[in-house]
Amino acid sequence: MSKKFHFKCKTCGNEIEGFKQWFANNQKCTQCGDNKIDTIYSTPKEKIKELISKDAKPESLWHYFDFLPLENKENIITEGEGVAPIERWSFFEDYAKRKYNLNLEVFINRNDKSFATGTFKDKGGAVAASVLKEQGIKEYVVVSTGNTASAFAHYLAKAGVSCSVFVPEDSLPDSEAHIGTYGQKLFRVKGDYAYAKKVAAEYAKKYGLLITGGNLDPLRLEAKKTQVFEMMRVMGKTPDVYIQALSGGTGPFAVEKAYDDFAELNLFGKLPRFLLSQGDRCAPMAAAWKKAKENNFSEGWEKDYPIYENPKTLIPTIATGNPGMYPLMGPLVKKSGGEIFPVKEELAVPLARLIGFERVIKIGPASAAGVLGFFEALKRGLIKDGESVFINMGESANRALGFLQEVAYTTENIKTAEDAKRFNREDYKKFVWEPFEKY
Ligand SMILES: [Zn+2]
């Protein structure tokens, strides 16, 4: 057994020593062949109290090294990820008060400020690169709609690991530019995300390469669970409500993992209600959820979900047409008392304008889909008076320049100085708020 941590198969209870054995068996249980494993640490759990104290000054998510699946600190690859600021946005609180008479605390996790690629995925990239380095892995395969690809390409390049990235046909060209810049291999597959996954899996199998293990991959899950530690450290509590755009669902699974790991200490309180949004042009989990609710979650509801082939969407970054994780995600959302619902993709640009105006930041389209979840949740009456809300905002706009060009407002047909004089900031403020005042 590895001293620091080991894995335990969630299906048959078999114990797996560590990554050496896990990778050698192609990321499957050596006994039953399933791929769902729990990472169990031998670090005394009490240690977390010191790490999440307000006085702690973390430089990256490696502050939580004792609860991350890496043996030696010398293998750490980092760019200061995982400590993106968590801010309170009073203009959202004012909106909830003004329109719905709700007194809320609204916290935003600014993953757009993550140092490496400006996404929530930097956490997973850093842990994956460090573990691969520790295990002496030289080549790795990633399949992604964009953000994971960018983060993994970046961090693996830092670790000297060659990364073959498979992206679907409609992935954003700006994402691809980020991947290609580091000399990593980029393959644009003629088909949707599900098809890209298939081709990547065949490639990995044929050439005996390791491939990302999906939404329950311990490399990503363990990295992302640290966001709960950061909530405790920065906010001094966990929120009542957790909002995020939902693609596969690693974020919510990771939150649950942190709660499960430290359940015996009862530090974090109740699991937040997961209010998860999907872009309305590719929202299979939201559709499945609606149907399940209408049928009072009748027997087998979690296995009943639609599959959309080649979804045509404005936000390809989060478009998972085949929601293979729904049988696990649905029950998790239900357990939390949460909901899955669609948001209008057409509102991504207006929302990015609103946030650009109010906060002077540039957010990407997947972030917009997540934050739109706040407006939709309010409209549906899913947030109660006095609650605290945490919005996990996924990414900056730096890999979606086309999106940013749509967001940028230009006054056209200016022929004279008098024409230009007509534009003023108060009018613009009304303009950016209008879609949300009437939401
Ligand atoms: Zn097993």
Give the residue-averaged pLDDT of 295-305. 98
- Residue 410: pLDDT over 90: no
Over residues 320-331, the pLDDT tens digits come to 899 999 999 999
Within its chain, how far is the Cα of 112 from the centroid? 11
By the 10 Å C-beta count (0-12 exposed, 13-18 middle, 19+ buried), 55 is classed as exposed
Instruction: Please tell me the distance between residue 120's alpha carbon and the centre of ligand 1 in angstroms.
Output: 30
- Residue 2: pLDDT over 70: no
Instruction: Please tell me the distance between residue 327's alpha carbon and the centre of ligand 1 in angstroms.
Output: 19
Q: Which residues line ion ligand 1, judged by CB < 5 Å?
A: 9, 11-12, 14, 29, 31-32, 34
- Residue 231: pLDDT over 60: yes
Q: Are 204 and 425 in contact (CB under 8 A)?
A: no
> Which strand ranges, in their side-by-side order, compose the sheet holding 5-9?
15-16, 5-9, 37-41
C-alpha 404/C-alpha 390 separation (Å) is 25
Over residues 144-199, the pLDDT tens digits come to 887 888 899 999 999 999 999 999 998 888 878 878 888 899 999 999 988 999 99
Instruction: Please tell me the distance between residue 8's alpha carbon and the centre of ligand 1 in angstroms.
Output: 8
For residue 1, what pLDDT is reported? 47
Cα angle 199, 203, 206; round to 5 = 135
Instruction: Please tell me the distance between residue 31's alpha carbon and the centre of ligand 1 in angstroms.
Output: 5
For residue 303, what pLDDT is reported? 97
Question: Helix or strand or coil: residue 367?
Answer: helix
* Residue 126, beta-bridge partner list: none
Instruction: Please tell me the distance between residue 6's alpha carbon and the centre of ligand 1 in angstroms.
Output: 14
Over residues 343-387, the pLDDT tens digits come to 999 999 999 999 999 999 999 999 999 999 999 999 999 999 999
Residue type at 308 in one-letter notation: Y
